[in-house]
Structure 1
Amino acid sequence: MVNFMLYISADLENLTNFQPAGGVDDPNFTYYFKLKCENCGEVTEKETCVSLNETLPLPKKGTTNLIQKCKFCKREGTVTMIPGRGSPLTNELSEGGKHAALMVFDCRGFEPLDFAFSSGWKAESIEGTKFEDIDLSGGDYAEYDEKGECPVMISNVAAMFKVVDLSKKNL
């Protein structure tokens, strides 16, 4: 079993607490990314979608969020989400050029690649105005905060997966 943490970064202008609409552990938020087979190295053509509210029983014990066969070598692999380790991307992290840890994926037989930003995000302005259902499938988001009388923007969104050891306190 290998655990991969999804880290996100973005340039936040007059915004903070950038995260999935229901929070970092939103059961309805869908993560889209490609998978690489650890057996043959084949990468899926399309993004695979995984969410906390979709579970499948495992043959022996427990549940997982995705069971998929490699189209090339036919080996089966699983992806299980591990909530409770993420945090929103704050304005301070963004200004410091740092990433926010979002979600852990326990991957067996696959490695996650190329996270795709889509809809279903939220953020709040520095003045406290909430912006809901932000769609980042086009890459950027721009709006105007009338309460704070300032433009708000999310740009240069980026994501990466890193192998993490869950026994360590600081990821």
Structure 2
Amino acid sequence: MVKCLLMITAELENLTNLEPQGGCDDPNFSYFFKLRCGTCGEVSQKETCVTLGETVALPVGKGTTNLIQKCKFCGRDGTITMIPGRGKPLTQEVSQSGKHTPLMLFDCRGYEPVEYVFGSGWKAESIEGTKFHEIDLSVGEYAEYDEKGECPVMISNLRSTFDVVK
């Protein structure tokens, strides 16, 4: 059992509080990443989608998980269970310091997440207080103009990492 904390950062220009549309524990926000099999080391060719609001029953015992997937190379099953409550919005201060902020914790059994893919469904607010919704980061950046604050806003240089935590 390995717990992997998804950490993100980006360059925020005149923006702060970047997070999923419904907050860091949004049950409808989809996380896309590739998986590495813990048995054979094979990395999935396609991204896997995991959502906090979607669960499946474990094949053995009681309980649920967010994903059960079989490795196409060795045939072993693995699970990913999301653990809410650890995520925080990416603030302008954290962004400027070059540090990452936690987004979601994953309990991984038989798999390790790699290569997180940014997509749609984000929100942020300008330093003047204007709220921006349904931000799509799938192209790697976002640019808009804050008419209230009379300044350009931008998200660029998106980066992510999975940190192993106890």
Task: Give the TM-score, by structure 2 length.
Answer: 0.99
* Counterpart position of 1:116: 117
Instruction: Count how many residue pairs are aligned between Structure 1 and Structure 2.
Output: 165
SS in 2 for 1:53: coil
* Counterpart position of 1:107: 108
Q: Considering only aligned residues, what root-mean-square deviation do their CA atoms show, in Å?
A: 0.4
Q: Does 1:44 align with 2:44?
A: yes
After superposition, give the CA deviation of every residue in 1:39-81 in whole Å (9 maximum; x if it has no partner): 0011000000000011001120111000000000000000000
SS in 2 for 1:133: strand
Q: Does 1:128 align with 2:129?
A: yes
- 2: CA distance between counterparts of 1:143 and 1:86? 25
After superposition, give the CA deviation of every residue in 1:77-105 in whole Å (9 maximum; x if it has no partner): 00000000110000000011111100000
Percent of residue pairs bearing the same amino acid type:
70
- What is the correspondence of 1:66-105 to structure 2 with a 5 Å cutoff? 66-105=67-106
* Counterpart position of 1:11: 11
Letter in 2 for 1:40: C
- 2: CA distance between counterparts of 1:78 and 1:45? 17
**Structure 2 regions of 5+ residues with no counterpart?**
none
Q: Does 1:35 align with 2:35?
A: yes
Letter in 2 for 1:17: N
- 1: CA distance between counterparts of 2:132 and 2:99? 22
Moved over 4 A (4+): none
* Counterpart position of 2:24: 24
- 2: CA distance between counterparts of 1:60 and 1:68? 17
- 2: CA distance between counterparts of 1:7 and 1:50? 16
